[in-house]
Copies of this chain bind each other. A is one copy, B any other.
Amino acid sequence: MTGSMAAQPLSLERLRTACSTCGLKELCLPVGLSGQEMDRLDDLIHVRRTAKKGQSIYRAGEPFDALYAVRSGFFKSSILSEDGRDQVTGFYMGGELLGMDGIGTEQHTCDAVALEDSEVCVIPFGRLEDLSRQVPALQSHFHKVMSREIVRDHGVMMLLGSMRAEERLAAFLVNLSQRFVARGYSPSEFYLRMTREEIGSYLGLKLETVSRVFSKFQDEGLISVQQKHVRIIDIPRLKHLVGHRPC
């Protein structure tokens, strides 16, 4: 143990927080940055926040001043309508960015709630804009991230607007599966962090319908499911369900 390490406790914390040593850097904001550029990004990301299950990172109406990168855990974002119905607009896992809805009005327009004990990196937005003016690769990648959020939303619109219940749930499971693979987890076996009600809200279905479709998929040998534990048995057939009428 060297004296220098003991004398600089902050550098340990620094290392712990740094993008350059983060396992998620291939999926997150630093994608495409050189080592030097990543160091500059590190300079603005040195605050992390934790949220226990059920707590929120931000709520609709709060002033916006930062984006949040999911470091660990799982989040949902949702909006509440006047009469109390709420709509889950997305689920977010490691490496994904929360809060881009707030840029336009400088107020958050939805709630970001942890579905399990989680941690996020705080990215002060003003400083991110400053840096992305100096680092084209960062600017470019940030634009791509926002654009992909739009494309993702279009996918959900397609799902909600023109798919039947079974297609919706199949699309949801396939999407989750792909995101887990990208993070080094099994594509075919995972724990759902969200309730049937939250899945239903996201998919425009009631929780009973979600439960029924899960049971149906299980009866048909597509998946095996008990509570939050899902194992996908036949991914190709599940994929085929998406975008194909029952015939």
- Name the contact of A101 in the complex, choosing from B81, B89, B147, B244 (C-beta under 8 A): B147
Interface of chain A, helix or strand or loop or mixed? helix
User: Residues of B contacting A105 with CB < 8 Å?
Assistant: 144, 147-148, 151
B104 with A144: CB separation less than 8 A: yes
Size class of the contact patch on chain A: 35 or more
Residue of B nearest to A156 (CB): B157
Q: What residues on B are CB-neighbors of A81 within 8 Å? A: 158, 162, 243
**B82 engages A150 (CB within 8 Å):** no
Contact yes or no, B83 A243, CB < 8 A: yes
Q: In the complex the two chains form, is B243's CB within 8 Å of A162's CB?
A: no
Interface flag for A103 (CB, 8 Å) = yes
Given known pairs A83-B245, A133-B136, A133-B139, the reply for A150 and B161 (CB within 8 Å) is no
A-B contact pairs, 26 of them (CB 8 A): A79-B158, A82-B242, A83-B243, A85-B162, A87-B161, A100-B150, A101-B147, A101-B150, A101-B154, A103-B146, A104-B145, A104-B146, A104-B147, A104-B151, A105-B144, A105-B148, A105-B151, A129-B136, A129-B139, A129-B143, A133-B133, A133-B136, A133-B139, A153-B157, A156-B157, A161-B202
